[in-house]
Structure 1
Amino acid sequence: MQVRISPVVNRKGYLLLLYDDQHPTWVRRWVVIRRPFLYIHENEKDAVERDIINLTTAKIEYSPAPVVEHLAGEFYSAAKNDSEHSTEDNAAIFLLTTSQRKVYVKTPEAGADVHEWLYAFNPLMAGEIR
């Protein structure tokens, strides 16, 4: 199967990631979305993709600020006090579920930025929420 990668960058920036198959600690990563893929880099100067997620096959869940803990459960609870990468308590969280693992994605802060990230992940879902 061939997948066409858009030359257009839909969204890029730093997000906090938490993998379900690793030690529960939020890590700050540079993320680039070029539909249909999400590319994860160590930082914005890193030329190597450290992880790639196909957004067309991943299940995407979003929870607004007050109810984020139900998505990430024990992983969020274990990592929410991580002082190294602490963010505002009202930051939004996304759950990306692939056939291999779950990745929790946390925005650095709440606000309009959350809707822009949601639109980049899944435009249809963003339209339903707004």
Structure 2
Amino acid sequence: MILVDANQDIWERRWFVLQRPYLHVFKQSNEVEEITVISLDGVNVESNPDMESLLGKRFTFTLFTSSNSHALAAPSLKGTASMDC
């Protein structure tokens, strides 16, 4: 899931495909056209228990890129294990 509106705490389910150095974001798993692409060049990944409490979601992490930040939530701890960018 990705946090799309922090003010209203709106999360949307998305599908992600990692093709280094990009993270492709799709609205549905069967779509061909991505809705956005996140460049992972120079990305910092932060996982923080305090952030999980603040967001009210488990298995959250934040991608900090040179131009933006993206709060994501995995369905399980296993879903976060491959995020060593």
Q: What is the TM-score with the length of structure 1 in the denominator? A: 0.54
Of 70, 74, 81, the match for 2:51: 70
Query: Greater helix share, 1 or 2?
Result: 1
Letter in 2 for 1:99: S
Q: Distance in 1 between matches of 2:10 and 2:53?
A: 12
**How far is 1:31 from its partner?**
0.4
Q: What is the TM-score with the length of structure 2 in the denominator? A: 0.77
Q: Structure 1 vs Structure 2: percent identity of aligned residues?
A: 22
Q: Which ranges in structure 1 are unaligned for 5 or more consecutive residues? A: 1-15, 81-88, 123-130
The residue aligned with 1:96 is: 63
Superposition RMSD in Å: 2.5
> How many residue pairs end up in the alignment?
85
Computing the radius of gyration over CA atoms, which structure comes out larger, 1 or 2?
A: 1
**How far is 1:23 from its partner?**
4.3
Query: Given that residues 19 and 102 in structure 1 are in contact (C-alpha distance below 8 angstroms), is that contact kept between their aligned partners in structure 2?
Result: no
Query: Greater strand share, 1 or 2?
Result: 2
Q: Distance in 2 between matches of 1:40 and 1:54?
A: 11
Q: Distance in 2 between matches of 1:99 and 1:72?
A: 26
The residue aligned with 2:22 is: 37
- Partner of 1:52, secondary structure, is strand
Deviation per CA, 1:85-122, whole angstroms, max 9, x where unpaired?
xxxx6x31110122332210111123x3331x323xx2
The residue aligned with 1:118 is: 83
Q: Which ranges in structure 2 are unaligned for 5 or more consecutive residues? A: none
